[in-house]
Amino acid sequence: MFRKLNLFKIYRTFNKRQLSLSIRCCNNFTEESKDFTHFGFETVKTDEKTEKVHQVFKDVAEKYDLMNDAMSMGIHRLWKDIFLERLYPTLGTKLLDVAGGTGDIAFRYINYINNLNKSNQDAYSKKSSVTILDINQHMLNVGMERAEKLGHISNETLDVEWVCGNAEELPLESDQFTAYTIAFGIRNVTHIDKALREAYRVLKPGGRFMCLEFSHIENNETLQWLYDQYSFQVIPPMGQILANQWQPYQYLVESIRKFPKKLEFKSMIEEAGFKQVTYENLTLGICAIHSGFKL
């Protein structure tokens, strides 16, 4: 009983903080400048956000996949399966998966390519590759450990590489990849426009950009209210119980609310140079797949 009362007390404290941050957010962000940005609902100096986000994912790395299952009730797995199906990789695809630390998208890609190779014995000359890039070495360590256990390593038909790097300044050559994916990562980037331009730079002509990201439920205030209640009243306490971390999950749900709406993000992708930009809603618009081509 004592433990339950303590958790309830913690919950009330953070819930009040969240409400006060919501009010401050409305007041402060109308005057946001290049020197300041948002970290969830907080206003921080631009050069501080990257380190703050790094700390969030350092704190949650070991429990990241468990919490994804708990927060989405497993639906994130379906979203990621659909995401890879929409990418429709072929033998010879050279994929860059950004913010891919724990390997969820990369492992789906590896399984997909391995299955293609098994059914196309005469196509072994078309070597595929996946480069998993993340700014957080702790997330990469979790992914590499999982990859070793699952046997997702380089072979004669597939190269697998792990790189620690920043999406805003990719340590990679231009015109190198045929596909670029980023799943639930771009909203954590300090300068989204820079990350999009870097995506365009490293893709070969004809290459495809794909982003899977949480979004906003539009034109349905009731569903948006229910979604907000679940996000703010359930997810942070769940993080405290399952991962002993409240604050990182408070940030994660706040960051979703600060991410641009779908049409605005579509415009940002187009401004980076991509053509044929589209988006597809998943689960009533809670999540969306964004796509564009370097033509």
Q: Tens of pLDDT along 241-280?
A: 887 888 878 888 888 888 999 999 999 999 999 999 999 9
Q: Tens of pLDDT along 167-226?
A: 999 999 999 999 999 999 999 899 999 999 999 999 999 999 999 999 999 889 999 999
Inside any domain, residue 221: no
Inside any domain, residue 177: yes
Contacts for 283 with CB less than 8 Å, ≥ 6 apart: 75, 79
Inside any domain, residue 55: no
Cβ distance 209 to 274 under 8 Å?
yes
- pLDDT at position 120, please? 79
Regarding predicted confidence, which is higher, 41 or 210?
A: 210
Domain count, the chain: 1
Q: Which residues span the domain enclosing 78?
A: 74-216+259-293
Inside any domain, residue 37: no
| Predicted TM-score (pTM) of this structure | 0.83
Inside any domain, residue 84: yes
Query: Does pLDDT of 39 surpass 60?
Result: yes
- The strand pair at 94-98 and 177-183 is best described as parallel
Q: Which long-range contacts (CB under 8 A, 24 or more apart) does 257-262 make?
A: 257/41, 257/216, 257/231, 258/25, 258/38, 258/40, 258/41, 258/187, 259/187, 259/213, 259/214, 259/215, 259/216, 260/192, 261/215, 261/216, 261/218, 262/215, 262/216, 262/218, 262/288, 262/290
Q: What is the CATH number of the domain that holds 78?
A: 3.40.50.150
Q: What are the DSSP E strand ranges found in 165-251?
A: 177-183, 203-214
Inside any domain, residue 145: yes
Phi and psi at residue 161, to the nearest 5°: -130, 140
Inside any domain, residue 241: no
Element (H, E) at 151: none
Q: Tens of pLDDT along 89-98?
A: 999 999 999 9
Query: Does pLDDT of 68 surpass 50?
Result: yes
Inside any domain, residue 43: no
Tokens found for residue 60: 């949650």
